[in-house]
Amino acid sequence: MSSNRKIVVIATGGTIAGVADSPTDHTGYLAGQLDISHLVAAIPGLTQAAGALQLEQLAQLDSKDMDAATLARLAQRVAELLDEEAVQGVVITHGTDTLEETAYFLHALLAPAKPVVVTCAMRPATALSADGPQNLLDAVTVARHPGSKGVLAVCAGAVHGPLDVYKAHPYRLDAFSSGDAGPLAFVEAGRLRVLRAWPEGHAQRQLLALLARPWPKVAIVTSHAEATAWMVPALVAAGAQGMVVAATGNGTVHAALEKALLEAQQQGLQVRRAGRCAQGVLVEGASDAVPFFAAYPGLSPVKVRMALVLELMGSIGSLGQASVARG
């Protein structure tokens, strides 16, 4: 890659742009308060170390409130930038709460041959020991690395893939994990140590034109002890077109919930199965009798939900299979 090609940094808000009244307050802050120019200015030498940077403020959200309109604008803008010869890669600042969903969404739609690096922070920008500046610097380092590609998540020096990454801890700085699979790489003293292959996929760019339309309503229901059926018809009555059941163990579903889902499925509801377990995949055999398709056996329920949304928008088949060792 030519060193004069630029990295575009797109900001969407999140804790990395958060502000608290006290530098020792890591939890009582407002997310998404500072713009991207403020964040970059707080990192000495970033521009010189990283080469040309283009800064864009797309949103100022707490990522718990991420919505379809913002995701659609983000996907469209990233797609435009990927098509520019002058762009070497894209970095996205994002809140941690739904980062894994955005990463999967962009992977499923774009499967980019250039790096699209999503980064974040667990402490607000005003914290005494804020982690955002180092994470942003690391993300730009990954985007600049020769040969890096695909949608990547960078946090606490680890580089995760979009299929495996999930938020594993509510407070620690190293809040993200790739479970059994492990990270793709580590950023160490400004250099990248690559452990395994960059993510591959099949772009579904034809769906970009559909993102401006109302998205299909897809809900997640969880199988658990004493699970009952009342929420299924209620969600269908509210307009749900698809449902993901977060199943216990190796994909089992409580009998009452299974009955209600089967009835809804027979009436046209699209039902997919995902596992509740944080690590591993659903291991299926020829004798399995669970009636709900586990189309994405290594993906978490929130990612299966996103996959089903995109399926219902018009894709045919899988939008990306998880690695066998997904966490």
Residue 321 has pLDDT above 50, yes or no: no
Q: CA 55, 5, 150, 92: dihedral to nearest 10 degrees?
A: -10
pLDDT digits (tens, 9 = 90+) for 25-38: 999 999 999 999 99
Report the domain count for the chain. 2
Asked if 143 and 239 sit in the same domain, the reply is: no
pLDDT at res. 162: 98
Please indicate, yes or no, whether residues 122 and 23 belong to a single structural domain of this protein: yes
Same domain, 159 and 291: no
Answer yes or no: do 50 and 121 share one domain: yes
Query: Is residue 185 domain-shared with residue 229, that is, in the same domain?
Result: no
Residue at 233 is within a domain:
yes
What would the pLDDT profile of 79-118 be if each residue is shown by its tens digit?
999 999 999 999 999 999 999 999 999 999 999 999 999 9
pTM above 0.95, yes or no: no
User: Which residue matches tokens 């180092």?
Assistant: 134
CATH number at residue 14: 3.40.50.1170
Mean pLDDT (whole number) for 143-157: 97
248 is catalytic: no
User: What is the token pair recorded at 117?
Assistant: 């690096």
End-to-end CA distance of the chain: 32
Contact present, 144 and 152 (Cβ < 8 Å): no
Rounded mean pLDDT of 177-194? 96
Answer yes or no: is 319 within a domain: no
- pLDDT given at position 1: 40
Considering the candidates 12, 15, 102, 126, report the single residue annotated as catalytic. 15
Whether the predicted pLDDT of 314 surpasses 90: no
Query: Are 167 and 274 in the same domain?
Result: no
Query: Is residue 322 in some structural domain?
Result: no
The domain that holds 234 is classified in CATH as 3.40.50.40
Are 231 and 124 within one domain? no
24 and 59 housed in the same domain? yes
Q: Give the chain's mean pLDDT.
A: 91
Residue where one domain finishes, among candidates 147, 163, 194: 194
Domain-located, residue 1: no
Q: How does pLDDT run across 9-28, given as a tens digit for each residue?
A: 999 999 999 999 999 999 99
Per-residue pLDDT tens over the stretch 251-307: 899 999 999 999 999 999 999 999 999 998 888 764 456 678 777 888 999 999 999
Cα Rg for the chain, rounded, in angstroms? 20
Would you tell me how many other CB atoms lie within 10 Å of the CB of residue 291? Answer: 12
Domain with 51, as residue range(s), is: 6-194
Final residue in a domain of this structure, among 163, 194, 225 = 194
- Compute the distance between CA of residue 25 and CA of residue 245 in angstroms, rounded to an integer: 37
Pairing of strands 87-93, 53-61: unpaired
> Do 288 and 184 fall into the same domain?
no
> What is the mean pLDDT of the segment spanning 220-232?
96
> How many C-alpha atoms does 190 have within 13 Å on its Cβ side?
4
What pLDDT sits at residue 245?
96
